[in-house]
Amino acid sequence: MEKAMTIAFHTLGCKVNQVETEQMREKFHLQGYRVVDFGDPADIYIVNTCTVTHISDRKSRAMVRRAVRSNPGAMVVATGCVAELGREQLADIEGLGLIVGNQDKDRIVELVENRLANRPAGQPNCQLQSTHPGKMIPVLFTAPHERTRGFIKIQDGCQSFCSYCIVPFARGHLQSKSPGDVLAEFRHMLNLGYQEIVLTGIHTGMYGADLPGWDLTRLLDNLLASSSGAFRIRLSSIEPGEWHEELLQLIAAESRICRHFHIPLQSASDRILASMRRGYTREQYRQLVSRIAQLIPGAVFTADVMVGYPTETEADFRDTYDLMVGLPMLELHVFKYSPRDGTVAATLQPQVEAKVKQERSQRLLQLSQQKKRDYLRGLVGREMNVLVERRLHDNCFAGLSDTYVEVRTASKIDPVGKLVKVWVTAAEDGYVLGTLSNLAGQTN
């Protein structure tokens, strides 16, 4: 019997990239390939790259070189956003065998096998994004993958063209997966045993913009009405202008939708927001968070915040810092601005010095840490709904609450992948401890 070829994957960047890697892994598995860890010898290496910052660009190229060094005779494939926008730099990497654009990820098995069968020396055979991307294809996994949460990519592309962002150039125009295909994937994941399903996309809140009569609220309604049993739905990042009242009312009324709201801010300076082309003001953001907190008791907020955008002054930064002080944020995801060739912001002057970016980043991170400590201390004595994700050691397990808090608890039986209730007894650095209050009839 012929030995199965081995294949290894490495993913950089966003949750959409992570979902797409799982989909590619499934396609190769169905064709008889054996998946191994990226650090192990393999016949094929696939690096799913990210270009959102110059650092992610550099890391992506470094991982491609690492794969080439691991096995010089292997087929090394680069896909993802660097494959769209930085293919010339990738093509200079000796030993890289194939470059596959984002829109061709669905065809990656075919492209890799064609390359293996016709493997000339010289430059990689570039497969580039088509002008007219095809339909988003559903993937029905044959078995649960590494994650305890199931991810469904419901949408791709972005046409907002924020002044600093390269993503629309790498991902193309908005494209929504058909509601029927999303429903099929959703039911299939529940049948595989997933008890949390995450709906994600490049611009998740714009789901349905290209499907007459559809939007995210209607999609959620359909998913919730189609299924029963123990499960919950988590929404990934949604922009401030896309939290419509109908969506908020649905979340308020439906306990199966997680109460975690990740709402990118970027800046709270109206001058900077206008330059970024973000489409909202500081006050509109504040009102949105206040409205959600009023409507949905227990709602928890996280935000992306950028420091060092070109022309940002100390006063602009203070606008951001002061707003974050006043809003009920669990955590801030702080990013330092990174110039991207081809974007408007890269041409603006003056650019902020690196040491200033670092200092502002540290101030926000310290604020974020303090806010998280305060929030976690306030959870002591409360019951939380937790999806157990992993065993830490012996009978100690860790999971995520519906509000995206890490919760650790002890259990005599393995609860990984299950939804449980935990009474919080103590707050630690970055997580809480608690006592399991239900799992198949046990009390601890």
pLDDT digits (tens, 9 = 90+) for 146-180: 678 999 999 999 999 999 999 999 998 899 999 99
Whether 228 contacts 43, CB under 8 Å: no
Q: Is the pLDDT score of 128 beyond 70?
A: no
For 267, residues 6+ apart whose C-beta sits below 8 A from its C-beta are 273, 276, 278, 305, 306, 309, 312, 316, 319, 320
In whole angstroms, give the CA distance from residue 286 to residue 240.
10
Over the Cα atoms of the chain, what is R_g?
Answer: 23
Q: Where are the beta strands (DSSP E) in 81-240?
A: 96-100, 125-127, 150-156, 175-176, 196-201, 232-235
pLDDT number for residue 431? 98
Whether 59 contacts 49, CB under 8 Å: no
pLDDT number for residue 190? 94
Q: Is the pLDDT score of 132 beyond 80?
A: no
Q: Model confidence over 174-228: pLDDT tens digits?
A: 999 999 999 999 999 999 999 999 999 999 999 999 999 999 999 999 999 998 8
CATH architecture of structural domain 6-127: 3-Layer(aba) Sandwich (3.40)
**Two tokens, residue 173:** 């125009």
Percent of the chain with pLDDT over 90: 82
Residue appearing with tokens 């991810």: 151
Of 380, 346, 370, 359, the residue nearest 430 (C-alpha): 370
Whether 305 contacts 332, CB under 8 Å: yes
In whole angstroms, give the CA distance from residue 187 to residue 216.
17
Q: Model confidence over 392-427: pLDDT tens digits?
A: 998 999 999 999 999 999 999 899 999 999 999 999
CATH architecture of structural domain 150-377: Alpha-Beta Horseshoe (3.80)
For 292, residues 6+ apart whose C-beta sits below 8 A from its C-beta are 243, 248, 261, 299, 301
Whether 118 contacts 98, CB under 8 Å: no
Give me the CATH code for the 383-438 domain, please. Answer: 2.40.50.140
B/e letters for 401-438, b = 16+ CB within 10 Å, e = fewer, are: bbbbbebbbebeeebebbbbebebeebeeebbbbebee
SS3 250: helix
Q: Is the pLDDT score of 141 beyond 80?
A: no
Angle between helix 282-295 and 245-253 (nearest 10): 30
pLDDT number for residue 129? 40
In whole angstroms, give the CA distance from residue 435 to residue 263.
31
Q: List the beta bridge partners of residue 408.
A: 398, 433
For the whole model, what pTM was predicted? 0.91
B/e letters for 192-204, b = 16+ CB within 10 Å, e = fewer, are: eebbbbbbbbbbb
Confidence of residue 127 (pLDDT cuts 50, 70, 90): very low
SS3 16: helix
In whole angstroms, give the CA distance from residue 393 to residue 152.
30
Residue with the larger pLDDT of the pair 302 and 95:
302
- Neighbouring C-beta atoms of residue 139, cutoff 10 Å: 20
Whether 234 contacts 405, CB under 8 Å: no
Residue appearing with tokens 């109460």: 259
The domain locations on the chain are 6-127, 150-377, 383-438
Rounded alpha-carbon distances, angstroms, from residue 206 to 62, 104, 156: 34, 23, 9
Residue appearing with tokens 């800046």: 267
SS3 325: helix
Whether 240 contacts 276, CB under 8 Å: no
β-strand 300-307 against 260-262: which pairing, if any?
Answer: parallel
